[in-house]
Structure 1
Amino acid sequence: MTTTARAELRVDASRERLWHALTDPETISRYLFGSRVETDWREGSPILYRGEWDGRPYEDKGTILEIVPGDRLVTSYYSPLSGKPDEPASYQTVSYLLAEEGDGTLVTITQDGCADDAEAERLSGNWAAVLESLKRVVEEG
């Protein structure tokens, strides 16, 4: 059985502004731990995340599974830092969902395929930190 990590946060910005933040490599690096993202933002295309985590360089990867501008972005995701082999069973699915909430936007991130509740809790905490950083970047300009 697998569990899902989840984090959500309301941001005082339009869905369009948040969509830009989710798909603009320069903006992404400002809230996603300095990650440099490479993709063409098309369904079926590869997506790469490069950076440094705890002093170690990484290159995580996946595929864009679904992309609906202003609404949702769904990707597969694999990190060699997980210690798991690079095979289909080791990939997780990460979803970024945007929904209007009053005059702002509710951003929800989920990551499925967690090995257990402890991993889901750890990843939920990481995503909560990413969302707080995203909120700062988007709201402060």
Structure 2
Amino acid sequence: MNASSEFGYVLYIEAAPERVWHALTDADLTGDYWGHRNVSDWTAGARWEHQRTDGSGVADVVGTVVTADPPRHLAMTFEDPAATETSRPPLVTFRIDPHSATSRLTLTHEHLPTPADHAAAARGWPAVLSNLKSVLETGHVLSRAPWEMTDDL
């Protein structure tokens, strides 16, 4: 495996695994903290779409649910709808483990084809998951979407 093909991230959330699962799979809630609605019936083999919240219905990412074991494990392919078919599509896996009175959420994004894709994952996933953590722990998203923030002060 080359250094750019996988990205992993772990965070702890003060919420039960069932709430974390709900936050990952509820279209309206993902729209609030992710800026896109994740739409699917969340069963193995089902299609899922990462749809814009502007009402256009445009899906910027699509894929297939590979594994759905609520509330502990969700895996799905993560593909650009305009990309040509690859033999090994990128795969995103969420593992939710109870950890005392919290949950440990482990994200793995595998089969990233280029260093640029790895860099995008390394920028995007911490931002999205920080916003997910904020909404579950405080009831509201961050005052500004983390992916819109720059390092400039």
TM normalised by structure 2 equals: 0.78
Runs of 4+ with >3 A deviation: 116-119
Higher relative contact order (CA 8 A, sep 6+): 1
Equivalence for 1:12? 14
Match of 2:150 in 1: none
Per-residue Cα deviation, 1:10-57 (whole angstroms, up to 9, x for no partner) = 11111111111111111111121x1122211111010011127xxxx6
Question: 1:96 aligns to what?
Answer: 94
- For 1:128, the equivalent position in structure 2 comes to 126
Determine the structure 2 residue equivalent to 1:112: 110
Alignment CA distance shift 1:115-1:59 (3 Å)? closer
Asked if structure 2 preserves the Cα contact closer than 8 Å seen for 1:8 and 1:108, the reply is yes
Q: Kindly state the Cα deviation for residue 89 of structure 1 after the two structures are TM-superposed.
A: 2.9
Q: Which is richer in strand? A: 1
CA RMSD of aligned residues (A): 1.9
**Sequence identity percentage:** 27
CA distances 1:50-91 after superposition (whole Å, capped 9, x unpaired) = 127xxxx6532100000000101000111147xx42x03362
User: Structure 2, unaligned stretches of length 5 or more?
Assistant: 140-153
8 Å Cα contact 2:29-2:37 kept in structure 1: no
In the TM superposition, 1:1-141 aligns within 5 A as 1-2=1-2, 3-32=5-34, 34-51=35-52, 58-80=59-81, 84-85=83-84, 87-89=85-87, 91-117=89-115, 119-141=117-139
Q: Please say if residues 8 and 107 of structure 2, whose CA atoms lie closer than 8 Å, have aligned partners that are also in contact.
A: yes
Kindly provide the amino acid, as one letter, of the partner of residue 15 in structure 2: A
How far 1:98 moved relative to its partner?
0.5
